[in-house]
């Protein structure tokens, strides 16, 4: 059985409070879009229960960051799963603010649930997903969602970008979580939900990602990319998550051939 885990964008991201558990409360709108990994899982009766053979292709996965196997082991601890083989073809850039690893984890849970007829409810899948990462539950559903808490409190939101053109620019800059939060000052702010539900042409002035103020001074290349996206006619341009992917949303298709060769550049109709 094969599924196609998608990437996500953050449409606005505000850090509003530091929590006693070390996490931060935030507000953001998650929007999934059709840049996909490819995930295949097959049951293999030659393997013992609890045995998971994992292989990957495409982008390499760093040691300790294989959330697909972690998702399998999580469900096996509850449901005593048969042995399986997992193949992940990795396309979504990692550590880029696009949620690729979280998506792979959630889709592993979903695929195992379907393949093995576990009959796990959507709400329970989200509970399992949250133990794998704050962003994982959003990929259990396939709709735009407004997130609060540390990203796990999700509600559907009415935002439709169909027919718009998305241009992604990932300059292969690594931004650690420590760096992203280094100069963040949590504060209450206007809800990005209300802003996103307005006309997209108001987003440029009203919709912000708090991490840009923290990250851009150390990586002015990202600010330059954002400025270029607007110069090319973007209705809205921003950084996704804590970076370093920059994206522009356009009303019309544009040429994207003049970016540095080492950039990951991707364009699609939403």
Nearest-5° angle of CA 71, CA 74, CA 80? 120
Q: Where are the beta strands (DSSP E) in the chain?
A: 2-3, 6-18, 24-36, 38-43, 52-58, 84-90, 145-148, 153-156, 165-170, 236-239, 246-250, 264-269
Q: Which of 37, 104, 135, 210 is catalytic?
A: 135
71: tokens are: 């998702």
Cβ-based neighbour number of residue 19 at 10 Å: 11
Catalytic residue, chosen from 8, 90, 193, 226, is 8
* 52-58 and 84-90 beta bridge pairing: parallel
Rounded to an integer, what is the distance from CA 103 to the centroid of its chain?
7
Q: Known catalytic residue: 44?
A: no
For residues 111 and 41, is the Cβ–Cβ distance under 8 A? Answer: yes
Asked about 257 being catalytic, the answer comes back as no
All residues at 6 or more sequence positions from 269 whose CB lies less than 8 Å from its CB, including other chains: 163, 164, 165, 166, 253
Closest CA to 110 of 121, 97, 94, 100: 121
Query: Active-site positions?
Result: 8, 135
């Amino acid at each position: 059985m094969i599924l196609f885990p998608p990437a996500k964008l953050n449409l606005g991201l505000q850090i509003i409070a530091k929590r006693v558990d070390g996490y931060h409360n935030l507000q953001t709108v998650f929007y999934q879009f059709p840049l996909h990994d490819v995930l295949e899982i097959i049951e293999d009766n030659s393997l013992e229960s609890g045995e998971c053979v994992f292989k990957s292709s495409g982008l390499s996965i760093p040691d300790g960051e294989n959330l697909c196997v972690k998702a399998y082991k999580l469900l096996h601890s509850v449901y005593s799963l048969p042995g399986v083989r997992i193949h992940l073809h990795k396309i979504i850039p990692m550590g880029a603010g696009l949620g690729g690893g979280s998506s792979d984890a959630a889709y592993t849970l979903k695929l195992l649930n379907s393949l093995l007829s576990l009959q796990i409810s959507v709400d329970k899948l989200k509970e399992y997903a949250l133990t794998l990462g704050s962003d994982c539950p959003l990929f259990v559903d396939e709709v735009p969602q407004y997130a609060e808490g540390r990203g796990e409190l999700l509600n559907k939101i009415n935002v439709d970008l169909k027919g718009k053109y998305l241009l992604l620019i990932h300059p292969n800059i690594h931004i650690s979580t420590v760096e992203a939060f280094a100069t963040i000052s949590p504060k209450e702010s206007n809800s990005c939900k209300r802003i996103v539900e307005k006309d997209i042409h108001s987003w440029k002035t009203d919709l912000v990602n708090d991490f840009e103020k923290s990250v851009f001074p150390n990586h002015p290349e990202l600010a330059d990319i954002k400025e270029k996206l607007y110069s090319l006619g973007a209705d809205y341009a921003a950084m996704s998550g804590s970076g370093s992917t920059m994206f522009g949303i356009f009303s019309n298709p544009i040429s994207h051939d003049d970016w540095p060769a080492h950039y990951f550049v991707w364009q699609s109709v939403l």
